[in-house]
Amino acid sequence: MRAAPTILHLDMDAFFAAAEQASKPSLRGKPVVVGGLGPRGVVSTASYEARRFGVHSAMPMAQARRLAPNAAYLVPRFQLYRAVSEQVMELLGRLSPLVEPLSLDEAFVDLEAGGAADSSASAQVAGERLRADILAVTGLSGSVGLAGSKMLAKIASEEAKPDGLVVIEPGTERELLGPKNVRILPGVGPATGEHLRRAGMTTVADLAEAGEDELVRLLGKAHGGSLYRMALGHDERPVVAERDAKSVSVEDTFDVDLHDRVRVRLEVERLADRCVGRLRAAGRSGRTVVLKVRRYDFSTLTRSETLRGPTDDPAVVREAAARLLEAVDTTGGVRLLGVGVSGLADFTQEDLFAQAAVGGAAEAGPVEEAPVEVVAAAPAAGGEAVPEEGAARRWLAGHDVRHAEYGAGWVQGSGLGRVTVRFEVPGDRVPGRVRTFAVDDPSLEAGEALPLVEGGVSGGGG
């Protein structure tokens, strides 16, 4: 533990939804929900206005619509979010060379390493200055936690939400943690929390009082010992600047279960090609191909095949994914498919014959879905990807458009051959006008996300 709260944790407030509100004047101060809009879509982010109705991330979109029927429901625009994230990460980089991004909207910073702070007072000044700079550059707010460890800095930023700053002074850790629920500690999910509850432990103080031996008996040596140290406020993990992605993956959820085996095979091949596209864009190659299948009954299976060397060849990945599919029973229907490549490397094996040979038998993965780190996020949650070139145009709610006469706007909704567009841009002081067009109107085309703050970086295509 450090003697001063010089580890900073930044968490942008309702990031996706806040970016949409900043981009669309008509949505400011209104409930906004971002996620997949299909029947099986889930909520990625809900604005604080939407959270008042009980909407939260990972909730089925159908449930969110029942709770907040009048909210604006939009598909994500990851290119915009990545552009804003780059602006935020640049500001963090000015504070210290040790910045550890956790996602587009969250990161740790070692203020001591950058000379930005060496005391509680200087750390607080650095945190407040960061929040002001983020607001000025992006127009968005972020919450900051400052503490002597990563665990406590993250807890502090959660307490600071929304749009605040909390400092946890070294020496006060046990007093602060004691009354909190065990779920606040890293690694304590629903299952572990319930296991501890049955053992009579519901607060962090209960864990500290139980002692290390008891926690090891309940949870095993590694998990039990780690949890005991965290209950005492001990966390020696350093801020790590380089966090290489472990895998690249893509997946789609289908509105209707797929039963046709040929269609399933075609979808797997399409996903393999998309996955390789992202692999190449990242300048990487990989040795292990992973297939993920979620069946009609929500059971999730993974199968993997390790090649003899790293590859970024689409034919090799397609063939490996197809072989893995042969080992999966899709009787009853498939609701989700995913293809990933792991074991990443910075070079490609030139011997394609070696790639095509099976380096190891397909292995059965766990039934429960495991988290996979994605280098490039899918264009929309819930499987609502932008159609391939040549496909019929689909106007998804929230996407950017441009009209030959009316200029830039965004899709409010579409259906029955019509698309409704609100013409407004981020800097407008009042909501823009709404107009409706035929979906094939030649004057209407896909647009680019405009910067949230004048002079900022554009997010590219919507």
**Which pLDDT does position 353 carry in this prediction?**
35
pLDDT-wise least confident of 53-62, 265-274, 305-314, 448-457: 448-457
Mean pLDDT of 27-56: 92
**Which pLDDT does position 20 carry in this prediction?**
97
The pLDDT of residue 384 is above 50: no
The pLDDT of residue 382 is above 70: no
Round to whole Å and give the CA distance between 373 and 157: 23
- How confident is residue 324, by pLDDT bands cut at 50, 70 and 90? very high
The pLDDT of residue 281 is above 90: no
Of all residues in the chain, the percent with pLDDT exceeding 70 is 87
User: Is the domain defined by 247-374 classed in CATH 3.40.50.2300?
Assistant: no
The pLDDT of residue 337 is above 50: yes
Round to whole Å and give the CA distance between 284 and 210: 47
The pLDDT of residue 263 is above 70: yes
Q: In this structure, are residues 426 and 409 in contact, taking their beta carbons and an 8 Å threshold?
A: no
The pLDDT of residue 347 is above 90: no
- Which residue in 159, 133, 165 sits closest to 8, CA to CA? 165
Higher pLDDT, 427 or 385: 427
User: Is the domain defined by 174-231 classed in CATH 1.10.150.20?
Assistant: yes
The pLDDT of residue 354 is above 70: no
**Which pLDDT does position 400 carry in this prediction?**
95
**Which pLDDT does position 282 carry in this prediction?**
73
Q: In this structure, are residues 229 and 221 in contact, taking their beta carbons and an 8 Å threshold?
A: no
The single residue of 20, 49, 100, 106 carrying the catalytic annotation is 106
Mean pLDDT of 201-218: 94
Mean pLDDT of 171-200: 89
- Strand-pairing partners, residue 247, are 342
Q: In this structure, are residues 423 and 432 in contact, taking their beta carbons and an 8 Å threshold?
A: yes
Round to whole Å and give the CA distance between 116 and 92: 11
**Which pLDDT does position 346 carry in this prediction?**
54
Which residue in this structure is represented by tokens 């997946």? 251
**Which pLDDT does position 222 carry in this prediction?**
82
236 is catalytic: no
**Which pLDDT does position 431 carry in this prediction?**
94
The pLDDT of residue 360 is above 80: no
Task: Kindly list the distances between the CA atom of residue 90 and the CA atoms of 85, 221, 240, in Å, as whole numbers in the listed order.
Answer: 8, 40, 16
Q: What is the mean pLDDT of the chain?
A: 85
pLDDT digits over 84-135, tens only?
A: 999 999 999 999 999 999 888 999 999 999 898 899 999 999 999 999 999 9
Domain boundaries, the chain: 174-231, 247-374, 383-461
pLDDT digits over 396-411, tens only?
A: 999 999 999 999 999 9
Mean pLDDT of 293-299: 87
Q: In this structure, are residues 419 and 427 in contact, taking their beta carbons and an 8 Å threshold?
A: no
Buried b / exposed e along 184-223 (16+ C-beta atoms within 10 A): bbeebeeebbeebeeeebebbbbbbebebeebbebbeeee
Of all residues in the chain, the percent with pLDDT exceeding 90 is 62
pLDDT-wise least confident of 48-62, 179-193, 233-247, 367-381: 367-381
**Which pLDDT does position 443 carry in this prediction?**
94
Mean pLDDT of 152-178: 93
**Which pLDDT does position 401 carry in this prediction?**
95
Burial degree of 268 (CB within 10 A; 0-12, 13-18, 19+): buried
